[in-house]
């Protein structure tokens, strides 16, 4: 039973007041208990968050360590540079590639390692254009002065605002590959030279054989008069053929710049060349058809050399028609180039041989007999004039050569 009154802290309090104290106390206690529970929940959540953050931080550290290890241990040379050309970081492979100690090169200008500093501007322009760059060929200078051929694959580094901070990339030393390629190229050239030397020897030995044998026959006093004359003619023929081969060979050694060029009429050159071969064509039962689409086609060229181009093409076509046929020559032009199409109805050229017919001394094709090197000379001279020459052929159906020559500043 509760007393009617009681003393609390020396003060008299009534029963009602006491009851109110008890109620207040119970209410405050409940509030405190709720707050404590809320605090405990918040604390637990905080602890969880702290744990999560720690886990993420550990993962980040591990990830960084992994990437650092990838960077450091990579056998590829990796670097990071700033846009203004400071080497920010590089791995050991990069340092080894260029022969520097870390403190000699990090935080210094990258320009000292570019063999051609201007090449860095080209690199920057290209990498910034697309954001990344693959297999950029670069030459770097090692600390000892030696130059190494490398390829660089790089990516642009950007700040949060999108501005370019610099680049990071991988550098691969391709000196050895390049050296191997050069050796292969040299071997290929030596092979071509051997092929050419063999070809020259073969071509010149034939006329030499003719002259030499005829001369040795002449030495014999007992040969009849008509044979003596024939032998003398064969000696002259052999010498002329050998001279022509040498003349054609020299064509390759003499650039167009050594010949006088001027505005000439292509239609006129072809017309003259056709006149030269008309007698041969008649003798071989070959019909000549000329279709100049225009009266004149003016272009900058050397008339004598173009005459040789078409003479070689026409004689080549004749050789493909030993039993007669038809040679059609068409000249056409647009605003930039002239096209001459030379079509014969001869035996054609097999697909296998087509790719080699412009090679000097191509051994499977001797249609140029008597002219020597005919098609390769024609091709060379057309290219010297800035033109192109293409061939289409079907075995047993005939061959078409298409020569395109630039008109220069003239118009048709």
Cβ at position 223, least distance to other proteins in Å: 8
Q: Does 78 bind other proteins (CB under 8 A)?
A: no
What is the distance between the alpha carbons of residues 270 and 288, in angstroms, rounded to a whole number?
12
- Say how many residues touch other proteins, by CB under 8 A: 29
165 vs 217 by CB, closer to other proteins: 217
Which residue, among 338, 322, 316, has the nearest Cα to 285 in the 3D structure?
A: 322
Residue 406 phi/psi, 5-degree rounding, is -70, 145
Close Cβ partners of 273 (under 8 Å, ≥ 6 residues apart): 307, 310, 311, 314
**DSSP code per residue over 198-247:** HHHHHHHHHHHHHHHHHHHHHH-TTS-HHHHHHHHHHHHHHHHHHHHHHH
| Residue of the chain from 80, 95, 113, 203 that contacts other proteins (CB under 8 A) | 203
Scan residues 211-250 and list those touching other proteins (CB under 8 A).
211-214, 216-217, 223, 227, 230, 234, 237-238
Cβ at position 366, least distance to other proteins in Å: 5
Which residue, among 92, 120, 123, has the nearest Cα to 105 in the 3D structure?
A: 92
336 vs 366 by CB, closer to other proteins: 366
Cβ at position 348, least distance to other proteins in Å: 13
Scan residues 363-402 and list those touching other proteins (CB under 8 A).
363-367, 369
Q: Does 206 bind other proteins (CB under 8 A)?
A: yes
Which residue, among 321, 251, 244, 246, has the nearest Cα to 287 in the 3D structure?
A: 321
363 vs 411 by CB, closer to other proteins: 363
Cβ at position 281, least distance to other proteins in Å: 19
What is the CA 243 to chain-centroid distance, rounded?
A: 40
Cβ at position 367, least distance to other proteins in Å: 7
Judge contact between 393 and 375, C-beta under 8 A.
no
Binding flags for other proteins, 182-201, as an x/- string (CB under 8 A): ----------------x--x
Judge contact between 144 and 99, C-beta under 8 A.
yes
51 vs 364 by CB, closer to other proteins: 364
Binding piece for other proteins, criterion CB under 8 A, among 7-15, 159-167, 257-265, 361-369: 361-369
Q: What is the CA radius of gyration of the chain?
A: 45
Residues that bind other proteins in the complex, under the rule CB under 8 A:
198, 201-214, 216-217, 223, 227, 230, 234, 237-238, 363-367, 369
């Amino acid at each position: 039973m509760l007393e009617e009154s009681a003393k609390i802290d020396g003060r008299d309090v009534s029963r009602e007041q006491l009851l109110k104290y008890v109620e207040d106390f119970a209410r405050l206690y409940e509030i405190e208990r709720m707050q404590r529970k809320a605090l405990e929940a918040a604390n637990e959540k905080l602890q969880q968050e702290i744990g999560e953050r720690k886990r993420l931080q550990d993962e980040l550290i591990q990830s960084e360590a992994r990437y650092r290890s990838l960077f450091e241990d990579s056998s590829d040379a990796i670097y990071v540079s700033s846009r203004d050309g400071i080497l920010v970081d590089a791995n050991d492979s990069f340092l080894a590639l260029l022969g520097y100690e870390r403190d000699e090169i990090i935080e210094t200008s990258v320009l000292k390692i570019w063999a051609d500093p201007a090449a860095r501007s080209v690199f920057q322009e290209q990498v910034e254009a697309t954001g990344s760059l693959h297999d950029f060929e670069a030459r770097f200078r090692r600390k000892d002065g030696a130059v190494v051929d490398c390829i660089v694959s790089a990516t642009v580094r950007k700040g949060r605002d999108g501005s370019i901070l610099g680049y990071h990339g991988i550098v691969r030393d391709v000196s050895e590959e390049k050296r191997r390629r050069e050796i292969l190229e040299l071997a290929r050239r030596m092979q071509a030279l051997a092929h050419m030397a063999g070809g020259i020897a073969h071509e010149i030995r034939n006329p030499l054989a003719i002259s030499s044998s005829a001369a040795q026959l002449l030495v014999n006093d007992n040969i009849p008069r008509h044979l003596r004359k024939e032998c003398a003619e064969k000696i002259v023929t052999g010498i002329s053929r050998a001279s022509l081969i040498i003349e054609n060979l020299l064509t390759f050694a003499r650039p167009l710049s050594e010949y006088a060029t001027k505005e000439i009429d292509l239609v006129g050159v072809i017309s003259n060349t056709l006149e030269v071969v008309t007698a041969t064509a008649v003798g071989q039962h070959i019909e000549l058809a000329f279709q100049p689409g225009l009266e004149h086609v003016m272009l900058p060229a050397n008339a004598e050399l173009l005459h040789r181009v078409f003479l070689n093409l026409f004689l080549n076509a004749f050789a493909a028609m030993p039993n007669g046929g038809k040679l059609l020559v068409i000249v056409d032009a647009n605003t930039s180039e002239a096209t001459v199409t030379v079509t014969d109805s001869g035996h054609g050229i097999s697909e296998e041989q087509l790719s080699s017919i412009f090679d000097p001394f191509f051994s499977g094709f001797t249609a140029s007999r008597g002219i020597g090197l005919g098609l390769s000379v024609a091709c060379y001279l057309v290219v010297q004039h800035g033109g192109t020459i293409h061939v289409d052929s079907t075995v047993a159906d005939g061959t078409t050569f298409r020569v395109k020559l630039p008109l220069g500043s003239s118009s048709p």
